[in-house]
């Protein structure tokens, strides 16, 4: 399945998807030392987003989030790439300043068509996301 969207940060990346139906902030929702989601009540609580393609609703802003994202990236605990329904400014800043390929506003709702464990090939430069469903090759 091929999805098309708008580029936030150019780049090519591929890997396993991890999907959240909730907004996310690098400040408060992520333990930067482990890459695990820690936000109380978050649907990914206890799961790692490190080195995965993180698919989620949107960001929830905090101007300190880019600093926390930098720490996560430096420790190897940031996502490889990000896909969201609609980005907000703080999250766009994270993607751009920390070189994390990102797309949003896809032609299909990514939260409905991408599932955790699917394999993603993302060419954020062209705004193209290829989804290989878990169990298919």
The span from the CA of 111 to the CA of 19, in Å, is: 7
* pLDDT at res. 108: 97
**Catalytic one of 20, 40, 48, 62:** 62
The span from the CA of 57 to the CA of 137, in Å, is: 27
* pLDDT at res. 85: 95
> Domains of the chain (ranges plus CATH)?
2-132 (3.50.30.10)
Mean pLDDT per block of 10 residues along the chain (137 residues) reads: 98 98 91 90 94 94 83 96 94 93 97 97 98 83
The span from the CA of 90 to the CA of 120, in Å, is: 24
* Distance between first and last Cα of the chain: 12
What is the CA angle 35-120-6, rounded to 5? 95
Annotated catalytic, 62?
A: yes
pLDDT digits (tens, 9 = 90+) for 38-48: 977 899 999 99
Token code pair at residue 47? 């799961």
């Amino acid at each position: 399945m091929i999805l098309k969207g708008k580029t936030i940060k150019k780049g090519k990346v591929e890997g396993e998807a991890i999907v959240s139906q909730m907004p996310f902030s690098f400040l408060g929702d992520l333990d930067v030392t482990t890459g695990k989601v820690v936000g109380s009540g978050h649907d990914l609580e206890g799961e790692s987003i490190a080195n995965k393609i993180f698919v989620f609703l949107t960001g929830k802003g905090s101007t300190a989030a880019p600093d926390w994202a930098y720490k996560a990236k430096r420790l190897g605990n940031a996502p490889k790439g990000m896909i969201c329904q609609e980005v907000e400014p703080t999250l766009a800043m994270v993607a751009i300043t920390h070189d994390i390929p990102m797309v949003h506003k896809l032609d299909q709702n990514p939260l409905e068509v991408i599932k955790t464990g699917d394999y993603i090939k993302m060419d954020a430069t062209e705004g193209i996301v290829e989804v290989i469903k878990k169990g298919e090759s």
